[in-house]
Amino acid sequence: MEYIIIIISAIFVNNILLAQFLGVCPFIGVSSKVETSVGMAGAVTFVMVIATIVTYLLQKYVLIAFGIEFMQTITFILVIASLVQLVEIILKKVSPALYQALGIFLPLITTNCAVLGVAILAVQKDYSLLGSVVFAISNAIGFGLALVIFAGLREHLDMVNIPKGMKGVPIAFLVAGLLALAFMGFAGLV
């Protein structure tokens, strides 16, 4: 039951993008097409889960063991950047087609604060390793859901007659706010 609460909470109630405002840069920057937002969501899911596992293990067996918890943020940033580079190198060798598909998204993930935020939140909430993985997967699904919905709305807005002063970023921010309000409707679930 604990894992179901984590899943529902991370996807709908405390959505990493719409409730906690982490990962807003790719949300605004990559969400102009559904196709690119799906690719970004997939790449973020992969990196978020791997980063959460590695940072959990580092926190538990290195930082706490040596009493250097104050190094958490910088350590997590280095781990995430290293993982993204490692994934990029492996994909380039193993699957050039997948590397081409995700190539543009991988460097963007390095600076995505949602990945760092999930890793830190998993440690702060004192989840077990399995709980941290469920938390990371759920947040990645919530990130992807919000990104794809927003991209679909933005594609639709490109076909609608909008006043000149509202085109582009202004209408995108307005729609993002309305989407966040829509997700607030799930607040009573957990």
Q: Is the pLDDT of residue 46 over 70?
A: yes
**Whole-angstrom Cα Rg for the chain:** 17
150 in Cβ contact with 171 (< 8 Å): no
Question: Worst-scoring range by mean pLDDT, 8-12, 84-88, 160-164?
Answer: 84-88
Task: Give tens-digit pLDDT for 114-134.
Answer: 999 999 999 999 999 999 999
**What is the residue type of 177?**
G
Report d(CA 38, CA 46) in Å as an integer: 13
Percent of the chain with pLDDT over 90: 47
Please report the pLDDT score of residue 126 as a whole number.
93
Report d(CA 113, CA 131) in Å as an integer: 20
18 in Cβ contact with 183 (< 8 Å): yes
Please report the pLDDT score of residue 103 as a whole number.
65
**What average pLDDT does the segment 79-83 reach?**
89
How do the domains of the chain map onto residue ranges?
2-184
Angle of CA points 111, 109, 78, to nearest 5°:
60
Please report the pLDDT score of residue 150 as a whole number.
92
Local structure of 115: helix, strand or coil? helix
Please report the pLDDT score of residue 102 as a whole number.
67
Report d(CA 56, CA 37) in Å as an integer: 27
- Please give the mean pLDDT across all residues of the chain: 88
Neighbours of 189 (CB within 10 A): 10
User: DSSP assignment of 79-101, as one string?
Assistant: HHHHHHHHHHHHHHHH-HHHHHH
* pLDDT tier for residue 27 given thresholds of 50, 70 and 90: confident
Task: Give tens-digit pLDDT for 140-159.
Answer: 999 999 999 999 998 998 88
